[in-house]
């Protein structure tokens, strides 16, 4: 795997079968009258690390939940061009979701927590075991199978949550501000790990965040959203030939990228404030 990102122009011309999921004119009106999303159209291409960036209330989490099938869109459609669709209109076992909270079963061990998605799919524990072990090893928690969630630190709980999302070997990983509650050092460490997993597995990631720095570090595409109503404001390709590591964090190139993303976000915030 390489860190060289294709230019946006090339990606835009890619064939539709490279689209993992596409949102078509999706709007979401909540029962309290809030228009959380207005006419959002977004194609997520295979292998992308896409960040949805925006101020709170811009509907970025709502968009992610609609893609995951948690709550239906008020209008518009979600298409999965290259996945087998199950009865609920979702791609079978193709989506992993990481919540803002670790959302682990407190009464179950780390092993059983990671087993859960497979268990719900009727996979026996013995058959699931190699996959659980692999998923745990990939997040560096191989030695913690028998631990209970409360015995783990916040960062480790998040790792379990990521392992659980990866255990079904999904093609698309949805992450909803997963590291917002963690301290900066732990967060950087987890960012490094998520990037590594992305490179190693070729998985497509949609990452919701309100952090310019996090999105600029992780993504090769940033979709900036505005609030009132939630809409896509800017679609930035983040290209770099540099390896994204600790050095990259202090590089001039990274600073330039964060400046660019910050400006786009500022614009989005202003549009949202004007309510136009």
C-alpha–C-alpha distance, residues 34 and 230, integer Å = 10
Q: Is 25 in contact with 48 (CB distance < 8 Å)?
A: no
CB of 120 to another protein, least distance (A): 5
Q: Which of 183, 245, 253, 259 binds another protein (CB under 8 A)?
A: 183
Q: Which of 55, 76, 81, 154 binds another protein (CB under 8 A)?
A: 154
Number of residues that bind another protein (CB under 8 A): 42
166 binds another protein (CB under 8 A): no
CB of 16 to another protein, least distance (A): 26
- What are the backbone angles phi and psi of residue 205, rounded to the nearest 5°? -125, 135
Scanning residues 77 to 116, which ones bind another protein (CB under 8 A)?
86, 88, 90, 95, 97, 99, 101, 103, 105-108, 116
Token pair in block for residue 220: 């090769």
Stretch near another protein under the rule CB under 8 A, chosen from 7-15, 26-34, 119-127, 210-218: 119-127
201 binds another protein (CB under 8 A): no
245 binds another protein (CB under 8 A): no
Chain positions contacting another protein, by CB under 8 A: 68-70, 86, 88, 90, 95, 97, 99, 101, 103, 105-108, 116-117, 119-121, 137, 139-143, 147-156, 183, 185-186, 189, 193, 196
């Amino acid at each position: 795997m390489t860190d060289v990102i294709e230019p946006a122009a090339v990606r835009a011309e890619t064939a539709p079968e490279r689209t993992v999921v596409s949102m078509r004119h999706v709007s979401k009106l909540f029962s309290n009258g809030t228009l959380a999303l207005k006419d959002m159209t977004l194609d997520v291409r295979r292998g992308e690390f896409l960040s949805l960036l925006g101020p709170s209330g811009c509907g970025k989490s709502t968009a992610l939940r609609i893609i995951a099938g948690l709550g239906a869109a008020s209008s518009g459609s979600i298409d999965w061009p290259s996945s087998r669709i199950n009865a609920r209109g979702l791609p079978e076992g193709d989506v992993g979701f990481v919540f803002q909270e670790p959302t682990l079963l407190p009464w179950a061990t780390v092993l059983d927590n990671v087993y859960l998605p497979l268990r719900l799919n009727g996979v026996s524990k013995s058959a699931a075991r190699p996959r659980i072990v692999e998923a745990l090893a990939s997040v560096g928690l191989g030695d913690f199978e028998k631990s209970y969630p409360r015995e783990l630190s916040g960062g480790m709980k998040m790792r379990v949550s990521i392992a659980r999302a990866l255990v079904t070997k999904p093609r698309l990983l949805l992450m909803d501000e997963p590291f917002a509650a963690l301290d900066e050092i732990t967060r950087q460490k987890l960012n490094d790990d998520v990037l590594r997993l992305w490179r190693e597995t070729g998985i497509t990631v949609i990452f919701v965040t309100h952090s310019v720095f996090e999105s600029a570090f992780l993504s090769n595409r940033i979709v900036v959203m505005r609030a009132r109503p939630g809409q896509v404001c800017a679609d930035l390709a983040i290209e770099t030939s540099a390896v994204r590591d600790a050095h990259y964090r202090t590089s001039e190139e990274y600073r330039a990228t964060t400046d660019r993303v910050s400006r786009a976000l500022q614009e989005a915030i202003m549009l949202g404030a004007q309510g136009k």
